[in-house]
């Protein structure tokens, strides 16, 4: 069954529907709620229109905002943000983005002490994950470690919008 979009309006009825949707995974409608396992309608819509979905991970809110603006200008969609490695792992599992842009140096969490640890956790769970690391100039040792751990590429801060756009074009 092919369904482009799912809209549900239930007024005073209780019903259960379970069906497969090519854009999402399983849609389960019960009473006045519907759930899409692992993906939202916005993600399904972005993927249908060949736009990439991106998870932006940086402890600096300003940097997340700058990246989000560049991503939006290219027609891709930021579907989640995280401010540390632990949040990145959780958001990746929930949102299933096409690409992750992740800072290397972030405050430690319980699962990941930094971006490289988060990268390792994500790649271990999903070996096909596309993660591009974001790092300050002068951290070549950390960049090399990240690439060895499974990062696809890196962008140096302060980044030029063109470099971000090139990464989006290559990996989304």
Q: What is the CATH number of the domain that holds 161?
A: 3.40.50.2300
pLDDT in the model for residue 49: 58
- One domain, residues 156 and 128: yes
| 129 contacts 100 by C-beta, under 8 angstroms | yes
Residue numbers in the chain where pLDDT is lower than 70: 1-50
Let me know whether 101 and 19 are in one domain: no
The pLDDT of residue 158? 87
Beta bridge partners of 156: 135
Q: Is residue 92 part of a domain?
A: yes
Boundaries of domain holding 62: 50-171
> Do both 18 and 78 map to the same domain?
no
- Considering the domain architecture, whether residues 54 and 125 belong to the same structural domain is answered as yes
Query: CA nearest 52: which of 27, 78, 13?
Result: 78
Asked whether residue 120 falls in the same domain as residue 157, the answer is yes
Are residues 6 and 72 located together in one domain of the fold? no
Give the C-alpha separation, 46 to 52, whole Å: 7
Q: What is the pLDDT of residue 159?
A: 83
Report whether 146 contacts 165 (CB < 8 A). Answer: no
- Asked whether residue 30 falls in the same domain as residue 60, the answer is no
Of 41, 2, 42, 34, give the one whose Cα is nearest residue 18. 34
95-134: b or e for each residue (b if 16 or more CB lie within 10 Å)?
Answer: bbbbbbbbbbebeebeebebbbbbbbbbbeeeeebbbbbb
- Residues 88, 138, single domain; the answer is yes
Predicted TM-score (pTM) of this structure:
0.72
How big is the chain, counted in residues? 172
Q: Are 60 and 13 part of one and the same domain?
A: no
Q: Helices 115-125 and 140-149 meet at what angle, rounded to 10?
A: 10
Within this chain, do residues 129 and 156 fall inside the same structural domain, yes or no?
yes
Q: What is the DSSP string of 6-48?
A: -----SS---EEEEE-SSSSEEEEETTEEEESS--HHHHHHHH
Query: What local confidence, expressed as pLDDT, does residue 51 receive?
Result: 83
Whole-angstrom Cα distance, residue 111 to residue 89? 9
The answer to whether residue 44 is domain-embedded is no
Do 123 and 62 lie in one domain? The reply is yes
Q: Is residue 45 part of a domain?
A: no
The pLDDT value given to residue 50:
64
CA atoms lying within 13 Å on the CB side of residue 115? 28
């Amino acid at each position: 069954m092919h369904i482009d979009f799912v809209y549900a309006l239930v007024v005073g009825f209780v019903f259960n529907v379970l069906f497969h949707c090519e854009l999402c995974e399983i849609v389960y409608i019960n009473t006045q709620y519907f759930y899409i396992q692992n993906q939202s309608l916005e993600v399904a819509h972005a993927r249908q229109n060949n736009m990439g979905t991106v998870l932006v991970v940086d402890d600096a809110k300003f940097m997340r905002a700058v990246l989000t603006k560049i991503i939006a200008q290219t027609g891709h969609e930021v579907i989640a943000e995280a401010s540390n490695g632990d949040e990145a792992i959780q958001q990746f599992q929930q949102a299933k983005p096409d690409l992750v842009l992740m800072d290397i140096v972030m405050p430690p969490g319980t699962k990941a002490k930094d971006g490289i640890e988060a990268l390792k956790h994500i790649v271990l769970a999903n070996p096909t994950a596309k993660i591009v690391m974001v790092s300050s100039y002068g951290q070549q040792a950390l960049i090399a470690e990240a690439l060895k751990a499974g990062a696809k590429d890196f962008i140096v801060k302060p980044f030029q919008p063109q470099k971000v756009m090139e990464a989006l074009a290559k990996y989304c």
